[in-house]
Amino acid sequence: MIELILENFYRARRRKRLGGAVVVFALLLSIVGNAMTFYLFERGIRPELSVGDSFWYSMISITTIGYGDLSATTIGARIGTILFITILGLTAFTASAGMIINWLIELQNRERSGVGRLYLKNHILIINYPNESRVRNIIDEFTSDSGHENYDITLVTDRLESMPFQRHNVHFLRGSPLETETYSRAAVAEAQKAIILSTGYDDPNSDSIVASAVSVLHRSNPNIMATVECINPRHAVLFEGMDNTSLVFPLQMANNLLVQESQDPGVSLLTQVITSNKLEGTLLSLRLEDIPDHQVSYPELAKNMLDRDVNMVGVVRDGTVHLRFTDLFPLKDDVLVYIASSRLEWKSVEDTLASVTGEVSRGT
CATH of the domain at 309: 3.30.70.1450
Does residue 163 sit in the same domain as residue 233? yes
Does residue 166 sit in the same domain as residue 53? no
Quick one: average pLDDT of 347-353?
74
Does residue 130 sit in the same domain as residue 106? no
- Split at pLDDT 50, 70, 90, the class of 2 is low
Distance between CA atoms of 294 and 300, rounded to whole angstroms?
Answer: 13
Note whether 62 and 97 are within 8 A (CB): no
Q: What is the CATH number of the domain that holds 232?
A: 3.40.50.720
Does residue 227 sit in the same domain as residue 131? yes
Q: Between residues 124 and 346, which one has the greater pLDDT?
A: 124
Assess if residue 270 is contained within a domain.
no
Assess if residue 255 is contained within a domain.
no
Q: What is the CATH number of the domain that holds 105?
A: 1.10.287.70
Assess if residue 307 is contained within a domain.
yes
Average pLDDT, the chain: 85
Note whether 274 and 335 are within 8 A (CB): no
Q: Is residue 5 scored above 80 in pLDDT?
A: no
pTM of the model: 0.72
Does residue 298 sit in the same domain as residue 222? no
Q: Between residues 348 and 56, which one has the greater pLDDT?
A: 56
Assess if residue 75 is contained within a domain.
yes
Residue where one domain finishes, among candidates 70, 87, 113:
113
- Split at pLDDT 50, 70, 90, the class of 15 is low
Assess if residue 275 is contained within a domain.
no
Q: How many separate domains does the chain show?
A: 3
DSSP per-residue string spanning 105-122: HHHHHHHHHT-S----SS
Assess if residue 205 is contained within a domain.
yes
Helices (H), 275-342: 298-306
CA distances for 255 relative to 93, 130, 273, angstroms: 67, 20, 18
Does residue 48 sit in the same domain as residue 81? yes
Query: Residues 271, 273, 274, 280: what is their CA dihedral angle, to the nearest 10 degrees?
Result: -170
Distance between CA atoms of 56 and 324, rounded to whole angstroms?
Answer: 83
Does residue 87 sit in the same domain as residue 13? yes
Q: 189-193, 211-215, 349-353: which range is least confident on average?
A: 349-353
Assess if residue 199 is contained within a domain.
yes
Identify the domain containing residue 313 by its residue range: 280-363
Residue where one domain finishes, among candidates 113, 139, 164:
113
Does residue 70 sit in the same domain as residue 147? no
Does residue 224 sit in the same domain as residue 334? no
Does residue 166 sit in the same domain as residue 222? yes
Distance between CA atoms of 244 and 226, rounded to whole angstroms?
Answer: 6
Assess if residue 265 is contained within a domain.
no
Does residue 109 sit in the same domain as residue 138? no
Does residue 79 sit in the same domain as residue 12? yes
